[in-house]
Structure 1
């Protein structure tokens, strides 16, 4: 089996792998790079050349994994598209939102090639999305050649899946983005245990992140709620930047539970955008699959408010409360970015990051700014001292590095391919795997260069 990383930037971005297994060619994910724009944000689909793509596997519906899917499918009109049922229910909504964002960016940033696809093209490919059930093998046959795909629940977000490929007497496991811990609205990964694989392809997102001793998801939730309560009682507001898919629904559920049992004082909770729309999708998924536990009841009980339409940097919103808004990395021109500009200059306010923040995003830069130093909201032409409390909580949607390492070593693969991680994260995994008790070939693939496993 040959694997080629089509993400020309490597790292975390336009995630897409070309896999060649005998007479089969398939693609794993087709994402857009969140820090790049235009054609540069896409995987290098030209590298596929004249290969016939038999199928595409979608591991989950974050845009760094599906954002270029319509472009890929337009180039390969006969390829099947396989994903979990929750992903099938979410994927169109995520792509339509991406199209809207690209249309806006075309005007704001003058990107001539945007949008990369249209709403009509999304509707045109929707009939090709095939839902797979977890743990139920799908056997493909071509002449006298067979390939078997088995999808496993991966935690992370609703619909996320890792999968194994059986072909030619060998078994290869792809983790995708994975979280082993149970969340409030979603169970953690249910990967096969005590199973040996010939090779594995693993995510390395948190390879550079060492979880402080004694910090668990439960203890971090408790610390978060305590800080929110202190801020609200002190007359301030709390901003929680979140990813629209998964993290927003998780936080809304936590806040609702805490308000009902008295751990939080009653106060306005603000929400807006794609994440609230996805909350309704979660309700449908919960009814059809019993894989998640989020319902519309949460948003109704919270009596969510919309943030004020007109916000002025440096001027706090009229009524203090808890703002649960995307983007999770405080990307420019998003609701969380705007609200942050109104809260940061007051000591009574708090900004709580609960997920991964790329160092080059405004969220990453804010986390790296010391109290009292000046922070620049570039697109707003506004700067202010960091007077609000800024804190980070270990509630990532990705598994700790030690958990992934333990899972990988237990399977005793001969080869492990590293993906979805910055250079330092991959280096940590390389060092740990090379020091393992049993020999394993560690492969950190260069973009567009095939590796054999």
Structure 2
């Protein structure tokens, strides 16, 4: 089996892999790089050449994994598309939103090739999405050559899946993006245990993140709610930047639970954008499956308010409260970025990050800025001292590095391919795997260069 990373830059970005297994060719994910624009944000699909793609596997619906899916499917009109049922229910909404964003960016940033696909293109491929049930193998046969796909719940976000490929007497496991901890609205990964794999492809997102001893997800939730309560009681506002898919629905549920049982005082809770729309999709998924637990009751009980339409940098919102807004990395021109510019300059406020922040994003830069230093909101042409409390809470949707390492080593694979991680994160995994008792061939693939496993 050969694997080629189609992400031009490697690392975390336009996630996509070409896999060649005998006469079968398939692609895992087709993302868009969140820090790049235009065609450079896409995987290098030209590298596929004249190979006929038999199928595409979608691990989950974050845009760095599905954002270029319509482009790939337009080039390969015969390819089948496999994903979980929750992902099938979410993917069209995520892609339509991406199309809207690209249309706006076409005007704002003058990107001539945007949008990369249209709403009609999305509608045209929707009928090709085939849902797979977790733990139920799908066997493909062609001229006596069999290939079996088995999807497993991966935690991370609703619909996320790791998967197992059986072909030619070999078994390869792809973790995708994984979280082993249970969340409030979603169970953690339910990967096969005590099973041996010939090879594995593992995510390495948190390879550079060392969790403080004694810190658990539960203790971090408790610490976050304590900070929110303290800030509200002193008359301040709290911004919690979140990803629209997964983090927002999780945080809204936690806040609602804490208000009902008295851990938080009654105060306005603000939400806006795609995440609230997705909350309705979560309600539908809850009714159709037992895979998540989120209903419209949460948003009704919170009596969510919309943040003010006009936010002026340096001028705090009229009524303090808790603002649960995307993007999770405080990306420019998003609601969280705009709101941060209004509250960062006051010591009574707080900004609480609850997920991964790329160092090159505004969120990543803010986390590295010391209290009292000046922070620049570049696109707003505004700067102010960092006076609000800024902190990170370990509630990431990605598993700790030690958990992934333990799972990988227990399977005793001969080869492990590293994906979805910055260079430092991959280096940690390389060293940890090479130091293990079980001998393993660790492969950190270069972009667009096939590796054999």
Same fold (TM over 0.5): yes
Runs of 4 or more consecutive aligned structure 1 residues displaced over 6 Å after TM superposition: none
Q: Distance in 2 between matches of 1:194 and 1:43?
A: 35
Quick one: distance in 2 between partners of 1:275 and 1:438?
43
Equivalent position of 2:197 in the other structure: 197
Deviations 1:77-111 (A, max 9, x none): 00000000000000000000000000000000000
Give the corresponding residue for 1:132.
Answer: 132
The question of 1:88 aligning with 2:88 is answered: yes
2:170 aligns to what?
170
Give the superposition deviation at 1:228: 0.3
2:340 equivalent in structure 1: 340
CA apart distance, 1:31: 0.2
Q: Matched residue of 1:172: which SS?
A: strand
Secondary structure class of the residue paired with 1:202: strand
Counterpart for residue 438 of structure 2: 438
Tell me the TM-score normalized by structure 2: 1.00
Cα separation, 1, equivalents of 2:46 and 2:17: 13
Distance in 1 separating the partners of 2:388 and 2:180: 33
> Structure 2 CA distance, aligned partners of 1:110 and 1:142?
47
Distance apart, 1:425 and its partner CA: 0.2
Match of 1:449, SS state, is coil
2:288 is aligned with 1:285: no
After TM superposition, the score normalised by the length of structure 1 is 1.00
State the shift of 1:119 in Å: 0.2
Deviation at 1:262, TM superposition (A): 0.1
Partner of 2:234: 234
Instruction: Tell me the distance in 2 between the aligned counterparts of 1:114 and 1:356.
Output: 27
Distance in 2 (CA, whole Å) between partners of 1:345 and 1:50 is 55
Measured in 2, the distance between the counterparts of 1:40 and 1:175 equals: 26
| CA displacement 1:280-326 (0-9 Å, x = unmatched) | 00000001011000100000000000000011000000000000000
Q: Match for residue 384 of structure 1?
A: 384
Match of 1:52 in 2: 52
| Deviations 1:104-144 (CA, angstroms, capped at 9, x unpaired) | 00000000000000000000000000000000000000111
Partner residue of 1:269?
269
How many angstroms apart in 2 are the aligned matches of 1:448 and 1:192? 30
* 2:259 paired residue number: 259
CA distance in structure 2 between the partners assigned to 1:438 and 1:9 by the alignment: 31
| Aligned counterparts of 1:299 and 1:451: Cα–Cα separation in 2 | 47
- Measured against aligned partners, the alpha-carbon deviations of 1:134-176 in whole angstroms (never above 9, x if no partner) come to 0000000011100000000000000000000000000000000
Task: Look up the match of 1:323.
Answer: 323
Q: Distance in 1 between matches of 2:23 and 2:451?
A: 17
Q: Per-residue displacement from partner, 1:43-89 (whole Å, max 9, x unpaired)?
A: 00000000000000000000000000000000000000000000000
The residue aligned with 1:151 is 151
Q: Following TM superposition, by how much is the alpha carbon of 1:450 offset from its aligned partner in structure 2, in angstroms?
A: 0.3
Please give the alpha-carbon distance, in whole angstroms, between the structure 2 residues aligned to 1:311 and 1:427.
42
In the other structure, the counterpart of 1:306 is 306
Q: How many residues align?
A: 453
1:338 is paired with a residue whose SS is helix
TM-aligned CA deviation for residue 438 of structure 1: 1.4
The aligned counterpart of 2:179 is 179
- 1:110 — aligned with what? 110
User: Could you tell me which residue of structure 1 aligns to residue 120 of structure 2?
Assistant: 120
Deviation of 1:3 after TM superposition, in Å, equals 0.2
Aligned to 1:402: 402
The equivalent residue for 1:27 is 27
User: Which residue in 2 is equivalent to 1:36?
Assistant: 36
| Partner-residue secondary structure (3-state), 2:402 | helix
In 2, the alpha carbon distance for the partners of 1:318 and 1:190 equals: 45
- Structure 2: distance between partners of 1:420 and 1:194: 25
Cα deviation, 1:345-374, whole Å, max 9, x if unaligned, reads 000000000000000000000000000000
For structure 1, the 5+ residue unaligned runs are none
How far apart are residue 334 of structure 1 and its match? 0.3
Counterparts in 2 of 1:352-371, with a 5 A limit?
Answer: 352-371=352-371
Give matches, 1:59-78, under 5 Å. 59-78=59-78
Provide, for residues 177-206 of structure 1, a one-character-per-residue CA deviation record: whole Å limited to 9, x for no partner.
000000000000000000000000000000
Root-mean-square deviation (CA, aligned residues, Å) is 0.3
Within 1, Cα distance between the matches of 2:152 and 2:356? Answer: 23
Structure 2 unaligned regions, length at least 5 = none
Secondary structure, counterpart of 1:281 in structure 2 = helix
* Matched residue SS, 1:65: helix
Partner of 1:3: 3
**What SS does structure 2 have at the residue aligned with 1:425?**
helix
